[in-house]
């Protein structure tokens, strides 16, 4: 049986209305969470475990707490390797992830992310690669990891490195910032070093500056020259963006000195200046 054009039009209109109602309810719920109360115990965790929190102005503190409320409502945490998930783990991971979202217009917290898997220590994972012919997937030797970001809706973290990275917020290494940088990057459909940007015209500047800096870092690796950016960023453009994100938030003054154009590009993207958080 074939439906008439009128029936099809009505069905499409109904489906559209259902989607719009769903979006409206989600937006309303997020607004309530964003403006809702923040438990004092959670704020104590931020004050004790997240050094930048003390240096945020009042507006950014309110925004961070609102984003954490949304994040913890919408994301599921799972302990792996016998780890029991605590409020400290949930709040600290959520807060570091949400640092990357401050001053953004849209208050959605990583909409493609569902689950955060947390191991007590480094975990073992296998690299998978697709052969160009035949569509065969090969698994390389297992290796120890401290974090991964999956395009299928999960982030994997080693808790000892999460806590260590947060306690020393000036060494340029932070697994949460790194992996959630990948999550932002994957918002464009794949991790390629180019996250979704608000204006299409900014992609040209982004590609020129980050592409040039990536090539410059690869050159430094071959010549064994030091850089404020970790050499892991020379692996590929996606890792370069994640490493640059870590460095921007943890070593902003050094990054500005060595890579002023890169610093300014990241400052525009994140709409923040972490130099204001350093003493």
**Domain 32-277 class?**
alpha beta
Q: Which residue has the tokens 């909409």?
A: 111
What is the pLDDT at residue 78? 96
Q: What is the pLDDT of residue 5?
A: 54
Residue 195 tokens, joined: 């996250």
Q: How open is the CA angle 121-126-131, to the nearest 5 degrees?
A: 160
Do 41 and 88 contact (CB within 8 A), yes or no? Answer: no
The DSSP output letter for 251 is S
**25 or 75, higher pLDDT:** 75
Cα–Cα distances in angstroms (integers) from residue 279 to residues 55, 189, 209, 253, 276, in the given order: 9, 38, 28, 11, 8
Q: Is the C-alpha dihedral spanning 162, 163, 166, 167 positive or negative?
A: negative
* pLDDT score, position 279: 65
Tens of pLDDT, residue by residue over 107-124, are: 679 999 999 999 999 888
- Tell me the mean pLDDT in the region 163-190: 93
Residues in contact with 126: Cβ distance below 8 Å, sequence separation at least 6, in sequence order: 139, 140, 141, 142, 143
Say what the pTM is.
0.85
Please tell me the predicted confidence (pLDDT) of residue 2. 45
Instruction: Locate all alpha helices (DSSP H) within the chain, ordered by sequence.
Output: 5-34, 40-49, 58-74, 87-99, 159-167, 175-185, 202-223, 237-250, 252-258, 260-270
Q: List, in sequence order, every residue forming a beta bridge with 150; answer none if it has no partner.
A: 154
Least Cα distance to 156 among 110, 130, 125 occurs for 125
Q: What is the DSSP string of 72-138?
A: HHH-EEEE-TTPPP-HHHHHHHHHHHHHTTTT-S-----TT--EEEEESS-EEEEEEEE-TTTT-EE
Under 8 Å between Cβ of 235 and 162: no
Average pLDDT over residues 263-268: 96
Residue recorded with tokens 């949400």: 98
Question: pLDDT band at residue 136, thresholds of 50, 70 and 90?
Answer: very low
User: Above 70 in pLDDT, residue 8?
Assistant: no
Q: Does residue 229 register a pLDDT over 90?
A: yes
> What is the DSSP annotation of 169-182?
TTSS--HHHHHHHH
Residue 131's pLDDT band, with cuts at 50, 70 and 90, is: very low
**Which tops the pLDDT comparison, 179 or 9?**
179
Q: In this predicted structure, what is the pLDDT of residue 43?
A: 97
């Amino acid at each position: 049986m074939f439906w008439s054009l009128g029936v099809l039009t009505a069905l499409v209109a109904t489906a559209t209305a259902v989607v719009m109602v769903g979006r409206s309810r989600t937006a309303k719920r997020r607004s309530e969470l964003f403006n809702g109360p923040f438990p004092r115990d959670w704020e104590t965790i931020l004050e004790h475990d997240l050094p930048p929190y003390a240096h945020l102005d009042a507006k950014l503190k309110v925004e961070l707490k609102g984003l954490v409320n949304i994040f913890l409502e919408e994301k599921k945490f799972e302990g792996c390797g016998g780890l029991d998930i605590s409020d400290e783990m949930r709040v600290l991971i959520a807060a570091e992830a949400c640092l990357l979202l401050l001053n953004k217009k849209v208050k959605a917290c990583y909409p493609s992310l569902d689950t955060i898997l947390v191991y007590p220590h480094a975990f073992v994972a296998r690299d998978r690669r697709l052969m160009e012919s035949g569509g065969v997937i090969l698994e390389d030797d297992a290796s120890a990891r401290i974090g991964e970001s999956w395009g299928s809706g999960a982030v994997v973290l080693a808790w000892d490195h999460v806590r260590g990275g947060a306690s020393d917020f000036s060494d340029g290494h932070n697994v949460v910032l790194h992996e959630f940088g990948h999550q932002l990057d994957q918002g464009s459909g794949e991790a390629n070093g180019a996250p979704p940007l608000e204006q299409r015209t900014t992609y040209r500047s982004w590609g020129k500056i980050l592409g040039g800096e990536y090539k410059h870092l690869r050159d430094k690796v071959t010549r064994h020259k030091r850089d404020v950016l970790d050499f892991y960023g020379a692996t590929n453009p996606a890792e370069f963006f994640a490493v640059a994100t870590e460095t921007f938030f943890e070593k902003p003054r050094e990054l500005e000195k060595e890579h002023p154009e890169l610093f300014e590009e990241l400052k525009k993207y994140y709409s923040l200046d972490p130099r204001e958080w350093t003493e």
